[in-house]
Amino acid sequence: MRVLGFMTGTSLDAVDMAVLETDGEAIHAFGPAGERKLTDATREILLEATHQALKWPRGAPEPEVFAQAAEAVAREHFAAASSFVEEQGLDWSEIDLIGMHGQTVLHERPKDGVVGRTIQLGDAALLAKLTGRPVAYDFRTADVAAGGEGAPLAPIYHLARAQASGLEAPLAVLNVGGVANVTFWSGGDEIAAFDTGPGNGMIDLLVQARGAGRYDAGGRYASVGRPDEAVVRALLAHPYFEAPPPKSLDRYDFSLEPLEALQLEDAAATLVAFTAEAVKRAFELMGQVPNEVIVTGGGRHNPEIMKALSARLPAPVTAAEDHGWRGDSIEAEAFAYLAARAARGLPISFPKTTGVAGPMTGGRIVEP
C-alpha cells in the first residue's frame, strides 16, 4: 500500500512528510518526502498546550487547549500535505492510508507501579475528513496502558530500513531529536532500544531561554564554548541513567538550572557534551559495540554534536545520508510504516524496545 507518514517533533519546527510503499514488513519503494514549517500561530498554541500538560494533574479534566491544539495540528497537516501532494503530481485517491503521529505535549514513563501517560495531539477524524483518506493515529497509548514505556516506536522501522539498505548487524541507529534514542540491531530480527538522554531539546530550550534564537544553528554557540565537566557529571547523576532499559524520556525531564552560572556558549558546549556522554553510557549499559552508528534526526545537523559523538563512542559514527537515507524524513517514514503495520494488526512495540510484556499492536484507524 502507498502510505503518507507525518511527524512533528518536539522542536516545533515543521511538519515532516514522507511516502512509502510498504506492507508493513518489507519496504517496496520510497516515495517523495518534504516538510512545511509550522505557522507561528500553531507553534504558540502547541507551546501553551505543552505548558498546561506539564502541570496537568492525573485524574483532572483535560485542559481545554488540547482540543484547540489538536484541531490546529490537523489543519496544519492538511495544509502541508495539500501542497506536497500537488507538487509531487499525486492525487489523494493514490494514497491508501495516512499515518499521523501527532504532537507530543506530555510523556511520563511508568514509575513505582503506576502506568505512564503520553499525549499526542492531532484530530485524526478531521484530517480524515479533509483528505478523504483513512488515518492511523494514537500509536503510543495501547503500549503505555499495557505497562510499556510508549517509546521509542521507530526501532522496528530502523530494522526494516537497515535491511532495505543491505546493511549488516551489529548496527546501531541513533536518532538525535529533542530526546535521543538508540536502536541496537544484533542480528536477525533482534532489536533493543531506549531513550539515551537529551538530544538537541535542552540546547533548544537553553537558547530560547537566553533570548538567542530558537536553536543553536550549526552549533554556532557550542563551537566557541568550553564544556564544564563538573556540570556534565551533575546532570549525569540523574537517576534515569541508572535505570535499566528499556526506558523513555520527555524533553522536560532535565532542568537547565545547573547551567545558570555559565555563559551561553559554555552552557551550549556543556549540553553537547551531556548528550554525547549519555549516548556513550547507553552503549556501556547495553554492552554492545556495533560496526557503525548511523545518526538520524535534527541533531546530526549540529557539527558539534557529531564531533562529540565521534569522540566518545566506541564505533564509527556516520550520518544517515552516508547510506542514502533521508535523515530528516526517517521518523515520517517510520510512521508511514507503523500505519501499515497498524492496518495489518502487526506489532509495533516489543519487550526490548518499550518494556511491554509481549509484542504489542498499536494505533487506531479512523475512516473519512
pLDDT in tens, the chain (368 residues): 999 999 998 888 899 999 999 999 999 999 999 999 999 999 999 999 999 999 999 999 999 999 999 999 999 999 999 999 999 999 999 999 999 999 999 999 998 889 999 999 999 999 999 999 999 999 999 999 999 999 999 999 999 999 999 999 999 999 999 999 999 999 999 999 999 999 999 999 999 999 999 999 999 999 999 999 999 999 999 999 999 999 999 888 999 999 999 999 999 999 999 999 999 999 999 888 999 999 999 999 999 999 999 999 999 999 999 999 999 999 999 999 999 999 999 999 999 999 999 999 999 999 99
Q: Is residue 156 part of a domain?
A: no
Q: Do 219 and 145 fall within a single domain? A: no
State the pairing for strand pair 117-121/103-108.
Answer: antiparallel
Question: Tell me, what's the pLDDT at 2?
Answer: 98
Contacts of 310 by beta carbon, 8 Å cutoff, 6+ apart: 316, 317
Q: Do 15 and 81 fall within a single domain? A: yes
Q: Is residue 312 part of a domain?
A: yes
Determine the Cα–Cα distance for residues 212 and 264; give it in Å rounded to an integer. 9
Q: Is residue 35 part of a domain?
A: yes
Q: Do 147 and 172 fall within a single domain? A: no
Consecutive H or E run containing 4: strand 2-7
Q: Is residue 134 part of a domain?
A: yes
Question: Tell me, what's the pLDDT at 11?
Answer: 85
Domain residues for 13?
2-151+339-366
Q: Do 173 and 301 fall within a single domain? A: yes
Q: Do 302 and 234 fall within a single domain? A: yes
Q: Is residue 330 part of a domain?
A: no
Q: Do 273 and 143 fall within a single domain? A: no
Question: Tell me, what's the pLDDT at 177?
Answer: 92
322 DSSP 8-state letter? G
**Residue 101, all three cell numbers:** 503521529
In the three-class reduction of DSSP (H, G, I as helix; E, B as strand; rest coil), residue 176 is classed as strand
Contacts of 20 by beta carbon, 8 Å cutoff, 6+ apart: 2, 3, 5, 27, 29, 30, 31, 333, 336, 337, 340
> CB of 305 within 8 A of CB of 219?
yes
Q: Is residue 231 part of a domain?
A: yes
Q: Buried (b) or exposed (e) across 16-41, using 16+ Cβ within 10 A?
A: bbbbbbbebeebeebbbbbbbebeee
Question: Tell me, what's the pLDDT at 316?
Answer: 97
Q: How many domains does the chain divide into?
A: 2
Q: Do 317 and 170 fall within a single domain? A: yes
Question: Tell me, what's the pLDDT at 288?
Answer: 83
Q: Do 192 and 281 fall within a single domain? A: yes
Contacts of 178 by beta carbon, 8 Å cutoff, 6+ apart: 9, 10, 11, 198, 199, 200, 201, 204, 251
Determine the Cα–Cα distance for residues 173 and 153; give it in Å rounded to an integer. 13
Question: Tell me, what's the pLDDT at 143?
Answer: 98
Q: Do 220 and 315 fall within a single domain? A: yes
Which domain CATH number covers 290? Answer: 3.30.420.40
Residue 105 has phi, psi (to 5 degrees) of: -115, -10
Q: Do 259 and 361 fall within a single domain? A: no
Question: Tell me, what's the pLDDT at 251?
Answer: 83
Q: Do 40 and 104 fall within a single domain? A: yes
Q: Do 146 and 174 fall within a single domain? A: no
Q: Is residue 159 part of a domain?
A: no
